[in-house]
Structure 1
Amino acid sequence: MQEQARQQVIDFLQQLKVERRASEHTLSNYQRDLKQLSFFCQQHQLTAWGALSSADILKHIAERHRVGLGSKSLQRELSAIRSFYLFLMKTGQVYNNPAQHVKAPKQARKLPKTLDVDQVNALLDAGANSVLELRDVAMFELFYSSGLRLSELSALDLNDIGKHDKQLTVLSGKGGKSRLLPVGSKALQAIQTWLKVRPTVADEAALFTSARGKRLGNRSIQLRLKQWCIKKGIPESVHPHMLRHSFATHLLESSQDLRAVQELLGHENISTTQIYTHLDFQHLAEVYDQAHPRAKKTK
């Protein structure tokens, strides 16, 4: 690709970072996806972004599919390409978006794994035996109490928790969006217990810190949850997002209020939240099969 084409990618990523406040994770993905498109252009002697047609984008996606990329990854790559061309169109550098009508091959949507209420209680009531475990319990309680994403929990500051009004302010939600969430009494109690023993040398802002007082990162939180399950003899392989899924599923089973669950999870589109209705139906179907006299399977 020509130097101008490379500069256009740099300008696009800068616009994502500054104007749209995209996360480092998103920026890294977009940069990698556009780099793959650049390789395609070099192989097919396309020197400018305006030279690509819909047929070229379709061929690129087909080639990526042949090397083993799944539907979800291909959809993300197409999303990055579409966003890039929208930027080029708005700045008057190209006149059409060749990726606009290109679709990735569909893949069956997998239902997220969840824990039932008894499993959640077993995980959270296992008992803490150290300062760090008190911190861990507070983190796990908050995951399940408010349905947080991993990145949202690690970014929490002390001032984000309203102890008296039992509220939590998420300032670093997906897409840079903030939201206000309720905090359950169990989670609030666990947080208050942690704050009493939180290291005095800790990062002044961070809610959850390491033994050295530094903000706890995403990977460290994942490892602590894994170690917790092993140490407490919990057979299920639990990850932070499973607690978020369990929060959404249990709330929807009890309330049937899809819009409320959407707001609590911070989903931009309700279609994303609707996957939990499939989980709920799956649960109802299992109960039906076991309980209905004309539905019971013969052994």
Structure 2
Amino acid sequence: MSPIVAVKQFLKELSNKNRSKGTIDEYQKDLMMFLRHLQQEGVEDIDDVVGSNMTSYLDKLINERSYKASSRNRQMNTIRSFFKYCKKAGFIQQNHAEHLERLEEEKVERVFLTSNEVTTLVGAIEHPLVRLVIVTLFFTGARITECLSLELEDIDFDQKTIFIKNGKGKKSRRLPLHPELEKALKHYIEGWRVRMDSKKLFLTGRSGNLSDVYVNRILKETVDRLGWNKKVTCHVLRHSFASELVHKNVNIVAVKELLGHSSLKTTSGYAHIMNQDIEDAIQQLAL
């Protein structure tokens, strides 16, 4: 079987498993790069791919494309998943990807803002709708895609909750509505939200949409204007939300649920922002 046919079957399998479009697109992008490498090495059948084809590709990412270890490891995970599927589907006799090894990754400290910095940032944002989105991100810890996907019906003022539908991994969660955010959203919905035949919470009159690219652009322009030496993106507001909760001794399991993490291991990384080890952090966060 040709590699391209195997990749198409793999992507179809991901779709059948209801993996998100973003995830499938990432797999496709990675595998198309890998297939071009195989073509250069003269490999025409997926069963002819050996370990050296894979390691030479991963080495090229580091040596020629200047990939960081984390990006190289992500590509390796894609290759592993692909060949695991190929073995299970009977496309290959032996899975050589099982023997690929991870590179040690440099630990990157998460960037986050204090509540005072968020207040300053929000006050400096000149675009009212983007300002409200940033306030929403800080008071919910939502991912920007989750935030911009919110619909009017997801805001329950009676129960004082926000419903995040189909988050990462198709997981949904219900978040408490902070009083300040409740006030801001009520004022927006009842007063100056664009009147359009759309269920979306955040929308513009021009396109009926609001993109994460545009929100991040406004953020960058605002940070530049403030003269901050920080790269602030929408995701930094999510980090800031989590960091503030950890700083205020909120139980780390509760933080995990609020963020929609699948694993406590992911959430526990925020405890390191306070320069505490995990065990000590959990003890301090206990109710």
**Could you say which TM-score interval applies, normalised by the shorter chain?**
0.7 to 0.9
- Distance in 1, Cα, partners of 2:265 & 2:215: 29
Aligned to 1:253: 247
Unaligned runs of 5+ in 2: 277-287
Contact 1:20/1:175, CA 8 A, preserved across alignment: no
- Distance in 2, Cα, partners of 1:185 & 1:245: 21
Counting aligned pairs with the same residue, the percent is: 26
CA gap of 1:122–1:234, structure 2 versus 1, over 3 A, is farther
Residue 153 of structure 1 deviates from its aligned partner by 1.0
Q: Does 1:189 align with 2:183?
A: yes
After alignment, is 140-149 or 42-51 more displaced?
Answer: 42-51
- Distance in 1, Cα, partners of 2:62 & 2:252: 34
Residue 91 of structure 1 deviates from its aligned partner by 2.3
Please tell me the residue identity of whatever aligns with 1:86: K
TM-score by length of 1: 0.83
Residue 168 of structure 1 deviates from its aligned partner by 1.5
- Distance in 2, Cα, partners of 1:128 & 1:5: 49
SS in 1 for 2:98: coil
Please tell me the residue identity of whatever aligns with 1:22: S
Aligned to 2:76: 78
Please tell me the residue identity of whatever aligns with 1:199: V
TM-score by length of 2: 0.86
Residue 128 of structure 1 deviates from its aligned partner by 8.0
Aligned to 1:208: 202
Aligned to 2:38: 41
Query: Paired residue for 2:88, among 68, 87, 90?
Result: 90
Contact 1:259/1:270, CA 8 A, preserved across alignment: yes
Contact 1:23/1:175, CA 8 A, preserved across alignment: no
Aligned to 1:198: 193
Aligned to 2:280: none
CA gap of 1:73–1:186, structure 2 versus 1, over 3 A, is same
- Per-residue Cα deviation, 1:19-62 (whole angstroms, up to 9, x for no partner): 233233x2232112112221222222222222223343223211
- Per-residue Cα deviation, 1:231-269 (whole angstroms, up to 9, x for no partner): 6x4746432111111100110121252222122112222
- Distance in 2, Cα, partners of 1:138 & 1:19: 35
CA gap of 1:77–1:204, structure 2 versus 1, over 3 A, is same
CA gap of 1:230–1:33, structure 2 versus 1, over 3 A, is closer
Unaligned runs of 5+ in 1: 283-299
- Distance in 1, Cα, partners of 2:201 & 2:245: 26
Residue 278 of structure 1 deviates from its aligned partner by 0.9
SS in 1 for 2:162: strand
For 1:259-298, list aligned pairs within 5 A.
Answer: 259-281=253-275
- Distance in 2, Cα, partners of 1:21 & 1:148: 20
Contact 1:123/1:234, CA 8 A, preserved across alignment: no
CA gap of 1:175–1:243, structure 2 versus 1, over 3 A, is same
Aligned to 2:132: 138
- Distance in 1, Cα, partners of 2:50 & 2:125: 59
CA gap of 1:252–1:101, structure 2 versus 1, over 3 A, is farther
Residue 183 of structure 1 deviates from its aligned partner by 2.1
CA RMSD of aligned residues (A): 2.4
CA gap of 1:186–1:207, structure 2 versus 1, over 3 A, is same
Aligned to 2:279: none
Residue 208 of structure 1 deviates from its aligned partner by 0.3
Aligned to 1:240: 234
Contact 2:6/2:46, CA 8 A, preserved across alignment: no
Aligned to 1:173: 167
After alignment, is 269-278 or 53-62 more displaced?
Answer: 53-62
Query: Paired residue for 2:48, among 25, 46, 51?
Result: 51
Please tell me the residue identity of whatever aligns with 1:259: V
